[in-house]
Amino acid sequence: MAFEGLADRLQNTIQKIRGKGKVTEQDVKEMMREVRLALLEADVNFKVVKDFVKRVSERAVGQEVMKSLTPGQQVIKVVKEELTNLMGGEQSKIAVSNRPPTVIMMVGLQGAGKTTTTGKLANLLRKKNNRKPLLVAADIYRPAAIKQLETLGKQLSMPVFSLGDQVSPVEIAKQAIQKAKEDHHDYVLIDTAGRLHVDEALMDELKQVKEISQPDEIFLVVDAMTGQDAVNVAQSFNEQLGLTGVVLTKLDGDTRGGAALSVKAVTNTPIKFVGLGEKLDAIEAFHPERMASRILGMGDVLSLIEKAQDNVDQEKAKELEQKLKTMNFTFDDFLDQLGQVKKMGPLNEILGMLPGANKIKGLKDVQVDDKQIAHVEAIIQSMTRAERDNPDLINASRKKRIAKGSGRPIQEVNRLLKQFEDMKKMMKQMTNMSKGKGKKGGFK
Ligand code: GDP
């Protein structure tokens, strides 16, 4: 996960101060020295680090903390608030023009993920906001860019406006907006040309496209893996074009996170979205507070709930709840559940959102293997209908048959049966508890 090193270090540092009933200036000083190192190591811009440390230190030795009953926790609260502010405070929303179409100009260097992000964003606008975007292929220099956008358009069943690579981007933008009005598109996403480096010719052209299309948003796409370079690129684009937002891509990779923490402070442009993979749904709105929470090991339960709401079939969830209550839960239901969890994304990512996940011993090193789910599925699929409904039927010879059918060792079959049994027991207890019959304690 991105930020892993930073998260580890910050969490170890704040852990030391958390439970303290009394926090001295010396304690704060020591903590801040470690925080400073952790941020620098994560490749956060050094001036940003300096300001951050200064702000947190001032507040931490101030009245609000020292006089409180739980100073240790108050310090952590200050760190979290300042980390949130650093990344932009409130989550910023995408503009809606009152004279449609809303025009979004996508800019960025080659390879940052601009074309992919254009597709992802259009997908998101349609899925979440019920919008009807038009994609515009105005990157006429990178040989494959137009084709790439057209392919994305096909995958999304979304129209792509293109005039080939012989017409100027300015003309393309102009005609595209005209076309969008005629066809009643409410959003126009212009995929502009990228270059390997920031250069004058590129900026001139982008300024002309901006002039003609009067965009409501100009989003710069930058690659989080490039660290401080991403911040420098953002700064030059912002000076020349006036950005309204940054999309930070490849946050699924092994980035140290410095860019995410510096972009807003250095360029005063908020990060609006983050890219988390190559697939067209691997994009999320950026929530500074949730990200701060994740970095400090407090989890990101809100994002987890949203992910579940987006992916889990609500009807099925209700049905399941009913089955749990009446204890009619079978292996078939279990199989269904696994399918729903899988839709939420790789297990590692999901676990990363749980509070304290990287503090759970061993969890970090265990590569939660999506293959294991496939094995469990294979075992269940090798059971007969009757066995799935009533696992008590599964005797030694049936176990052997299931193991053979699924290609898994018999111990694994045994383990799954045992887990299923335990799960049912646990549910029974929970249902009893919610009926008020249960004893106190047990589940947290
Ligand atoms: P462009 O030159 O800026 O238009 O870049 P592309 O859209 O062609 O993307 C360059 C490469 O980065 C492609 O292989 C994309 O699949 C990949 N990419 C884009 N966004 C992400 C992301 O968020 N995560 C990962 N892992 N790869 C990404």
Structure tokens that stand for 341 in this block: 């969890």
pLDDT, one tens digit per residue, over 39-70 is 999 899 999 999 999 999 998 887 777 777 77
Instruction: Clarify whether residues 383 and 413 are in a common domain.
Output: yes
Average pLDDT for 120-139: 94
- pLDDT at position 312 over 90: no
Kindly state if the Cβ of 277 falls inside 6 Å of ligand 1.
yes
Number of C-alpha atoms within 13 angstroms, CB side, residue 30? 11
**According to the model, what pLDDT value does residue 352 have?**
66
pLDDT, one tens digit per residue, over 267-297 is 999 999 999 999 999 999 999 988 888 888 7
- pLDDT at position 434 over 60: no
- pLDDT at position 8 over 60: yes
Centroid of ligand 1 to alpha carbon of 283 (angstroms): 12
CB atoms within 10 A of CB 81: 16
Kindly state if the Cβ of 119 falls inside 6 Å of ligand 1.
no
Q: Is residue 83 part of a domain?
A: yes
Of 115, 116, 248, 286, best ligand 1 pocket probe by most atoms within 8 Å of the beta carbon = 116
- Domain of residue 73, CATH code: 1.20.120.140
Q: How would residue 22 be classed by pLDDT, with cut points 50, 70 and 90?
A: confident
**According to the model, what pLDDT value does residue 72 have?**
79
Q: How far apart are CA 159 and CA 133, in angstroms?
A: 8
- Domain of residue 114, CATH code: 3.40.50.300
Kindly state if the Cβ of 250 falls inside 6 Å of ligand 1.
yes
Average pLDDT for 209-221: 96
The total domain count for the chain is 3
Q: Is residue 302 part of a domain?
A: no
Instruction: Clarify whether residues 143 and 240 are in a common domain.
Output: yes
The residue among 312 and 291 whose pLDDT is bigger is 291
Residue type, position 60, single letter? A
Instruction: Clarify whether residues 74 and 108 are in a common domain.
Output: no
**According to the model, what pLDDT value does residue 407 have?**
94
Instruction: Clarify whether residues 106 and 209 are in a common domain.
Output: yes
Strand partners, 271: 246
Q: Is residue 94 part of a domain?
A: no
CB atoms within 10 A of CB 318: 10
Instruction: Clarify whether residues 115 and 244 are in a common domain.
Output: yes
Average pLDDT for 344-365: 60
**According to the model, what pLDDT value does residue 437 have?**
42
Burial status of residue 35 (CB atoms within 10 A of its CB: 0-12, 13-18, 19 or more): buried
The residue among 199 and 301 whose pLDDT is bigger is 199
Average pLDDT for 367-376: 74
Centroid of ligand 1 to alpha carbon of 433 (angstroms): 49
Instruction: Clarify whether residues 81 and 107 are in a common domain.
Output: no
The residue among 56 and 373 whose pLDDT is bigger is 56
Q: Is residue 235 part of a domain?
A: yes
Instruction: Clarify whether residues 34 and 151 are in a common domain.
Output: no
Computed over every residue of the chain, the mean pLDDT equals 85
CB atoms within 10 A of CB 228: 15
248: which DSSP letter? Answer: E
- pLDDT at position 245 over 90: yes
- pLDDT at position 369 over 50: yes
Please answer whether residues 2 and 251 qualify as being in contact, where contact means their C-beta atoms are separated by less than 8 angstroms. Answer: yes
Structure tokens that stand for 277 in this block: 């993979």
Atom of ligand 1 nearest to the CA of 110: 2
Kindly state if the Cβ of 168 falls inside 6 Å of ligand 1.
no
Cα Rg of the chain (Å, integer): 26
Q: How far apart are CA 181 and CA 174, in angstroms?
A: 11
- pLDDT at position 153 over 90: yes
Please answer whether residues 330 and 389 qualify as being in contact, where contact means their C-beta atoms are separated by less than 8 angstroms. Answer: yes
**Considering only CA atoms, which of 220, 228, 303, 218 is closest in space to residue 265?**
228
pLDDT, one tens digit per residue, over 388-397 is 988 999 999 9
Centroid of ligand 1 to alpha carbon of 201 (angstroms): 24
Q: How far apart are CA 259 and CA 248, in angstroms?
A: 8
**Total length of the chain:** 444
Q: How would residue 431 be classed by pLDDT, with cut points 50, 70 and 90?
A: low
**According to the model, what pLDDT value does residue 258 have?**
87
Centroid of ligand 1 to alpha carbon of 244 (angstroms): 21
Greatest Cα-to-Cα distance within the chain, rounded to the nearest angstrom: 76
Domain edge (last residue) among 264, 296, 328: 296
Centroid of ligand 1 to alpha carbon of 302 (angstroms): 27
Strands 133-138 and 187-192 come out as: parallel
Q: Is residue 441 part of a domain?
A: no
Domain edge (last residue) among 252, 270, 296: 296
Kindly state if the Cβ of 275 falls inside 6 Å of ligand 1.
yes
Instruction: Clarify whether residues 138 and 179 are in a common domain.
Output: yes
Q: What ipTM was estimated for this complex?
A: 0.98
142: which DSSP letter? Answer: S
**Which CA distances in Å does 187 have to 64, 134, 160, 239, 246?**
46, 6, 12, 25, 18
- Domain of residue 387, CATH code: 1.10.260.30
Centroid of ligand 1 to alpha carbon of 144 (angstroms): 13
Domain edge (last residue) among 25, 57, 87: 87
Is 110 marked within a binding site?
A: yes
Is 192 marked within a binding site?
A: yes
Residue type, position 193, single letter? A
CA dihedral for 286, 290, 292, 294, sign (positive or negative): negative
**According to the model, what pLDDT value does residue 374 have?**
84
Q: Give per-residue burial for 354-392: e unless 16+ CB within 10 Å, then b.
A: beebbeeeeebeeeeeeeeeebbbebbebbeeebbeebe
- pLDDT at position 348 over 70: no
- pLDDT at position 227 over 50: yes
Kindly state if the Cβ of 112 falls inside 6 Å of ligand 1.
yes
- Determine which of 53-57, 142-146, 366-370 has the lowest per-residue pLDDT on average: 366-370
Is 112 marked within a binding site?
A: yes
Average pLDDT for 384-389: 91
**According to the model, what pLDDT value does residue 432 have?**
65
Atom of ligand 1 nearest to the CA of 275: 23
91: which DSSP letter? Answer: P
Instruction: Clarify whether residues 79 and 122 are in a common domain.
Output: no
Atom of ligand 1 nearest to the CA of 274: 23
**According to the model, what pLDDT value does residue 19 have?**
74
Kindly state if the Cβ of 227 falls inside 6 Å of ligand 1.
no
- pLDDT at position 338 over 90: no
Instruction: Clarify whether residues 56 and 123 are in a common domain.
Output: no
Residue-number span of the structural domain to which 19 is assigned:
2-87
Instruction: Clarify whether residues 160 and 249 are in a common domain.
Output: yes
Q: Is residue 139 part of a domain?
A: yes
Q: Is residue 440 part of a domain?
A: no
- pLDDT at position 441 over 70: no
Residue 355: asked if its preceding bond is cis (omega within 30°), the reply is no
**According to the model, what pLDDT value does residue 439 have?**
39
Average pLDDT for 142-152: 91
∠ CA 287-280-96 to the nearest 5 degrees?
55
Kindly state if the Cβ of 276 falls inside 6 Å of ligand 1.
yes
Instruction: Clarify whether residues 117 and 172 are in a common domain.
Output: yes
CA dihedral for 420, 425, 426, 432, sign (positive or negative): positive
Q: Is residue 271 part of a domain?
A: yes
